[in-house]
């Protein structure tokens, strides 16, 4: 694809960490070119002022208002729109942009990273987030899944699952789809401080978080219904997830451990660890960003990359599967770019093959 044919990319979400990660991935992308980034609070301000580490790649790019972004979308023949606005804000914003795109004849695809289009109905969303959905008529235009568990989206637009959900689904869906475990799973997840966003709060303030480790929202985290719904859609099995999230003393990464009970063999031989690893490897044989190994994965193995690593073991009664992903990349911006590559029929790996940073 020539430079003139590169697809304009628009980022909604202003100065958040996920927006910054999207810009980092899009700046060198071979098929997308950054056309605009929305920040209603800072229109006209240089984007590099908020993301100093990206200054060499962003040049004179400035934030635009919603009205400016709507006009931009209407002026383009096609657009890749990445939603990184907060939940509760994203739906109405995307609805307005898609209406403007439709009126102008713009061929637009959206990948939303917020929670607004992850549920199959407005009622399901409202039960979790306790406020009305911003664009209920648009929900049917979105599919929510991790790319590795849906060969092709049946809708024009995609909702990317959250970072905890991404890691949990990568680890649990094969167990359910292959009928290896009873449908009751315990999930222990650990997230880095960037998962809480850019605005400093007690949970992410470095003196509070450094050298500490604690759980929060045990068995009541808002991602649990999302995990269950996405797992059922991907595996065909309705399972119960008991999810206990933890706050880790690092900036980037998600580490998840899934534990479940092996199903009674019923004439089959219960898989040993080698057979379990082989089953996971086969399940992800066509997934370029997922690898399975007997070695326990480390967060540093994948930090700042779009890769996921899994491992598993069994004692003949229980199964434990561990998964690590980068929360800002594979769990958000990188997964969104991966989906957008697919929506525009580009190579799935385009712009995403850089390895982990290693010493983050």
Catalytic residue among 62, 144, 163, 230: 163
Q: Among this protein's residues, is 144 annotated catalytic?
A: no
Closest CA to 312 of 350, 243, 262: 262
The residues, ordered by sequence, that sit 6+ positions from 241 with a Cβ below 8 Å of its Cβ are: 168, 172, 185, 187, 224, 227, 228, 231
* Rounded Cα gap, residues 151 and 147, in angstroms: 7
The separation between the first and the last C-alpha atoms of the chain, rounded to the nearest angstrom, is 33
Per-residue three-class SS string for the chain: CCHHHCEEEEEECCCCHHHHHHHHHHCCCCCEEEEEEECCCCCCCEHHHHCHHHHHHHCCCECECHHHHHHHHHHCCEEEEEECCCCCCHHHHHHHHHHHHHHHCCEEEEEECCCCCCCCCHHHHHHHHCCCCCCHHHHHHEEECCHHHCCCCCCCEEECCCHHHHHHHHHHHHHHHCCCECCEEEEEEEECHHHHCCCCCCCCCHHHHCCCCEECCCCCCCHHHHHHHHHHHHHCCCCEEEEEEEECCCCCCEEEEEEEEECCCCCCCCCCHHHHHHHHHHHCCCCCCEEECCCCCCHHHCCCCCCEEEEEEECCCEEEEEEEECCCHHHHHHHHHHHHHHHCCCCCCCCCCCCCCCCC
**Among all residues, which ones are annotated catalytic?**
163
């Amino acid at each position: 694809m020539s430079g003139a044919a590169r697809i304009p990319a628009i980022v909604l979400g202003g100065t958040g960490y996920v927006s910054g990660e999207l810009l980092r991935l899009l700046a060198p992308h071979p098929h997308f070119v950054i056309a605009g980034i929305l920040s209603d609070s800072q229109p006209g301000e240089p984007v590099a002022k908020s993301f100093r580490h990206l200054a060499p790649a962003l040049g004179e790019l400035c934030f635009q208002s919603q009205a400016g972004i709507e006009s931009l979308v209407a002026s383009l023949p096609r657009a890749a729109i990445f939603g990184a606005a907060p939940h509760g804000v994203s739906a109405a914003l995307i609805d307005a942009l898609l209406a403007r795109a439709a009126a102008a004849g713009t061929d637009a695809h959206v990948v939303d990273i917020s929670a607004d289009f992850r549920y199959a109905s407005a009622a399901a969303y409202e039960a979790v987030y306790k406020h009305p959905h911003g664009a209920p008529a648009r929900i049917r235009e979105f599919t929510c899944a991790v790319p590795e568990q849906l060969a092709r989206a049946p809708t024009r637009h995609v909702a990317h699952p959250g970072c905890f959900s991404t890691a949990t689904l990568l680890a649990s869906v094969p167990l359910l789809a292959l009928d290896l475990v009873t449908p009751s799973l315990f999930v222990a997840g650990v997230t880095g401080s960037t998962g809480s966003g850019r605005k400093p709060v007690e949970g992410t303030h470095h003196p509070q978080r450094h050298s500490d480790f604690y759980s929060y929202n045990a068995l009541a985290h808002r991602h649990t219904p999302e995990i269950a719904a996405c797992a059922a859609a991907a595996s065909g099995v309705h399972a119960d997830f008991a999810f206990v999230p933890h706050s880790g003393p690092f900036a980037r990464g998600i580490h998840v451990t899934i534990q479940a009970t092996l199903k009674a063999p019923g004439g089959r031989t219960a898989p040993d660890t080698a057979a379990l690893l082989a089953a996971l490897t086969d399940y992800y044989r066509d997934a370029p960003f997922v690898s399975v190994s007997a070695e326990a994965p480390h967060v540093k193995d994948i930090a700042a990359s779009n890769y996921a690593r899994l491992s598993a073991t069994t004692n003949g009664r229980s199964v434990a599967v561990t998964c690590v992903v980068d929360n800002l990349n594979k769990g958000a911006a990188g997964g969104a770019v991966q989906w957008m590559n697919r929506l525009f029929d580009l190579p799935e790996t385009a712009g995403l093959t850089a390895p982990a940073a290693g010493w983050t």
